[in-house]
């Protein structure tokens, strides 16, 4: 993507800042972030930063493309106050898209979630039946329905990306998030500092860990192709938390056992296993993950 005016909401956060920084060299990039989960320290100096909520009425939406990453992005953030979660994740999405539409922007790429697939050890296709068990999941599914409305009613091109366990080390853009950072960054930092990583349950839960640079390339290609509908962004391969700890120990030259604790998230809503079927995005754009998990673990650990 080149010579475009681009808005990234949640652009000072983890995924958002990676997208903004990737595009800043060849595009005019604006970022909106209220700094609840993000920090402008993550951003390239060339980026125009706006300290705003996605609920604001005067957003800088006179752009060619919107990447909407802003969200309350965890189970806990929604269960504490479901109404606030709905305002930020649903009303905030509608507010951004509507302002962009009025300003003449017709291409939006937005974050949905893979957690609505529930427990899946086989790759999950986009057209399988999904279930909502948490406020977070409900808010992301609501986004998909509002995107369908904007596409059908106004002819906008909206691509919803169901991300699978996006990771990067603290050398990236997540250290400031602390307990809300991705588990691989947290595990690596604990082990590198001689502390036991804390695993819920017995550590056998599995995730399709997807490196943030692959997520960025998927999002950018979705915008370039003006995709419509829902697309998985994942690798199609899953690893258990126990295996992650073992790989981190091997890479760091350490031998630190994890600490197992009772899962604070109710078993009825906790997603134990995830795995992506990314064939739809591949067929539409040619996208496929470029960073193997072994290489990703090596990158995470390289800073130590």
Q: Tell me the three-class secondary structure of the chain, residue by residue.
A: CCCCEEEEECCCCHHHHHHHHHHHCCCEEEEEECCCCCCHHHCCCCCEEEECCCCCCCCCCCCCEEEECCCCCCHHHHHCCHHHHHHHHHHHHHHHHHHHHHCCCCEEEEECCCHHHCCCCCCECCCCCCCCCCHHHHHHHHHHHHHHHHHHHHCCEEEEEEECCEECCCCCCCHHHHHHCCHHHHHHHHHHCCCCCEEECCCCCEECCEEHHHHHHHHHHHHHCCCCEEEEECCCCCEEHHHHHHHHHHHHCCCCCCEEECCCCCCCCCCCECCECCHHHHHHHCCCCCCCHHHHHHHHHHCC
Give CA separation, 149 vs 117, 146, 249, in Å. Answer: 22, 5, 48
The pLDDT value given to residue 173: 80
pTM of the entire structure? 0.96
Report the mean per-residue pLDDT for the chain.
96
Segment 199-207 shows an average pLDDT of: 96
The pLDDT value given to residue 27: 98
For 215-270, the pLDDT digits (tens) are: 999 999 999 999 999 999 999 999 999 999 999 999 999 999 999 999 998 888 89
**Residue ranges of the domains in the chain?**
5-165+210-235+276-290, 175-205+239-272+296-302
In angstroms, the CA 27 to CA 32 distance is 16
Q: Which residues are catalytic?
A: 136, 177
CB 66 within 8 A of CB 30: no
Segment 195-223 shows an average pLDDT of: 97
For 142-154, the pLDDT digits (tens) are: 999 999 999 999 9
Q: What CATH number does domain 5-165+210-235+276-290 carry, 3.40.50.720, 3.40.50.1820, 3.30.1640.10, 2.70.98.40?
A: 3.40.50.720
Confidence class for position 53, pLDDT limits 50, 70, 90? very high
The answer to whether residue 192 scores a pLDDT higher than 80 is yes
In angstroms, the CA 43 to CA 71 distance is 18
Segment 163-168 shows an average pLDDT of: 96
Q: Which fold has domain 175-205+239-272+296-302?
A: UDP-galactose 4-epimerase; domain 1 (3.90.25)
The answer to whether residue 24 scores a pLDDT higher than 90 is yes
The answer to whether residue 155 scores a pLDDT higher than 90 is yes
CB 298 within 8 A of CB 251: yes
CB 201 within 8 A of CB 260: yes
**Mode of pairing for the β-strands spanning 198-200 and 229-233:** unpaired
The answer to whether residue 103 scores a pLDDT higher than 80 is yes
Segment 66-90 shows an average pLDDT of: 92
The pLDDT value given to residue 176: 77
For 271-295, the pLDDT digits (tens) are: 999 999 999 999 999 999 999 999 9
């Amino acid at each position: 993507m080149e010579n475009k005016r681009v808005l990234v909401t949640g652009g000072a956060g983890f995924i958002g800042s990676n997208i903004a920084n990737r595009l800043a060299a060849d595009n005019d990039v604006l970022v909106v972030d209220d700094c609840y989960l993000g920090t402008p320290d993550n951003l390239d100096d060339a980026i125009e930063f706006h300290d705003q909520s996605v609920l604001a009425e005067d957003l800088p939406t006179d752009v060619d493309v919107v990447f909407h990453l802003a969200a309350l992005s965890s189970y806990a953030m929604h269960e504490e106050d479901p109404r606030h979660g709905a305002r930020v994740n649903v009303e905030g999405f509608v507010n951004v898209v509507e302002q962009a539409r009025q300003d003449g922007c017709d291409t939006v790429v937005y974050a949905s979630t893979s957690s609505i697939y529930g427990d899946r050890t086989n790759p999950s296709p986009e057209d399988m039946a999904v279930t909502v068990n948490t406020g977070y999941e409900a808010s992301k599914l609501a986004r998909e329905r509002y995107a369908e409305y904007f596409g059908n009613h106004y002819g906008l091109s909206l691509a919803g990306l169901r991300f699978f366990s996006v990771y990067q080390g603290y050398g990236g853009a997540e250290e400031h998030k602390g307990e809300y950072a991705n588990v691989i960054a947290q595990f690596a930092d604990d082990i590198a500092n001689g502390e036991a990583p804390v695993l819920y349950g017995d550590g056998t839960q599995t995730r399709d860990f997807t490196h943030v640079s692959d997520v960025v390339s998927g999002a950018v290609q979705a915008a370039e192709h003006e995709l419509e509908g829902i697309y998985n962004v994942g690798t199609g391969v899953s690893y258990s938390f126990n295996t992650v700890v073992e790989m981190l120990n091997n890479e760091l030259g350490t031998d630190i056992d994890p600490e197992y604790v009772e899962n604070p998230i109710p078993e009825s809503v906790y997603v134990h296993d995830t795995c992506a079927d990314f064939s739809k995005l591949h067929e539409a754009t040619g996208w496929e993950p470029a960073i193997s998990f072994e290489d990703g673990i090596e990158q995470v650990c390289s800073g130590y």
